[in-house]
Amino acid sequence: MASRILNTSRGALRLLSLVLLAVMTGQAAPPVSTKTELYAALGTDITQYDLDTKTATLTKHATVTLPANVQEAWVSPNRKFLYVAWSNGGASYASAPTPPKGDHHGITAFRIDPQTGALLPHGQPASLPSRPIFTTTDLDGTHIITAHNDPSSLTVHRILPDGTLGPQIAQPAGLDFGIYGHQVRMDPSGQTVILVTRGNGPTATRPEDPGALKLFSFKDGILANRLSIAPGGGFGYQVRHVDFHPSGNWTFATLERQNQLHVYERKPDGSLSAMPLFVRSTLMPSTKSLPSQTAASIHVHPDGRYAYVANRATDTSGENTIAVFSINPETGEPILIQSIDTHGFTPRTFSLDPGGSVLAVANQSPMTVRDGKSVKMVPASLALFHIGKDGKLTFSRKYDVETTPDRNLFWTGIMRLQP
């Protein structure tokens, strides 16, 4: 998540109300921030870059270091704070260099300097019981909700009025957290929390674990079971990430091992249809769906006309692309209109700027590739693309990032500073 880190509509309404108030009272209009920042996590470090959205260029600034490897991050609704989840646990796949369990996990709050975008430590970190995979706030920024994979679960912490992290809130017994919690999102209604449980694919020694979308009601930091969505009993349903259409009509989900995009009808109370309205492949027609080929993050464009999905491969024979889908404004049907190479390998996360003009991809891992009769190393990188009026991407440039086996380019996010 990667992940969207800006509630665009709420921010726009707030700015509009301030401007109207200024006009009616004869006061000067409030300043409008045009400074956009990109943050990227490499191992324990988060580095800040100024992002020029016109030229799609980055200027590197300061780096902050977390107690363990960064897993995910989420900005507060008022854009004043960044909450970073970290862990010394690693991924669950066998080749991961870091043991999956770990014994040191938490969330650190940073205050975002409104002029420079610098990250300033803010209060004490909150301890977590196990490795966090994803974290998000509720709509008013009074709670932070974190997804854990092993055991699959959610934790909720209070956010105090000054933006620092408060205590963990005890949850009732009997909550259905499924298998392998991977992402958590607060539905735009503010009434529903969605835990995306990926399940696990079958192996030579164990059968498949089913996946599901687990929906919970949410009030004052307390969760309650609400609905489980698992087409086919959750088998062949290794769901990974969700995002929401700005109209409020649809929720989009990526299926990791199936390389699919699913579209669900979203209801005003935050519930979803039991079955998807549409199912589409995220891959080019010529690409074979292999165990090394998986879908990753998804982001819907701020104007709701397009959706972007990352396809990643763990070897050179697969597809490392951003799939671009147009979205029918009447039905929500997605149509693949472009698949563009990310100019790197394993695009685990990516992010769009709030204005919807630039897309940045974190190509997670270096890869050795054949170059004629020799071989060369393609490093991990931050790759930047312009987004055209037709939603399609044009590659601008990339910035190579030096990694090590235990220091991957694991997360990136873009935000516009709050003036």
Q: Which residues contact 126 (CB under 8 A, 6 or more apart)?
A: 106, 107, 144, 157, 165, 166, 168
Q: Which residues pair with 271 in a beta bridge?
A: none
pLDDT tens-digit series, residues 37-81? 999 999 999 999 999 999 999 999 999 999 999 999 999 999 999
Q: What pTM, to 2 d.p., does this model score?
A: 0.90
Long-range contacts of 387-390 (CB under 8 A, 24+ apart): 387/301, 387/352, 387/356, 387/357, 387/358, 387/359, 390/337
Residue spans of the domains in the chain: they are: 8-416
* Residue-level pLDDT at 92: 59
Residue 41 and residue 59: Cα distance in Å, rounded?
16
Cα 178 to chain centroid, rounded = 20
Tokens 């610098």 locate to 118
Strands 380-387 and 358-365: antiparallel
User: Any idea which fold 8-416 has?
Assistant: Methylamine Dehydrogenase; Chain H (2.130.10)
* Residue-level pLDDT at 97: 58
Residue 185 and residue 157: Cα distance in Å, rounded?
15
* Residue-level pLDDT at 96: 54
* Residue-level pLDDT at 373: 82
Q: What is the enclosing helix (H) or strand (E) of 8?
A: helix 8-25
**Contact yes or no for 217/224 (Cβ under 8 A):** yes
**Contact yes or no for 151/20 (Cβ under 8 A):** no
Which among 359, 373, 401 is positioned nearest to 56, based on CA atoms? 359
At residue 76's C-alpha, the angle toward residues 71 and 82, to 5°, is 45
* Residue-level pLDDT at 3: 44
Integer-rounded Cα Rg, in Å, for the chain is: 20
Please report, for residues 38, 55, 386, 416, the alpha-carbon distance to residue 52 in angstroms, rounded to integers and kept in the order given.
Answer: 10, 6, 11, 11
* Residue-level pLDDT at 17: 46
Residues of the chain with pLDDT under 50: 1-26, 28-30, 94
State the DSSP string of 198-238.
Answer: --B---SSSPPBPPEEEEEEEETTEEEEEEEE-GGGGTT--
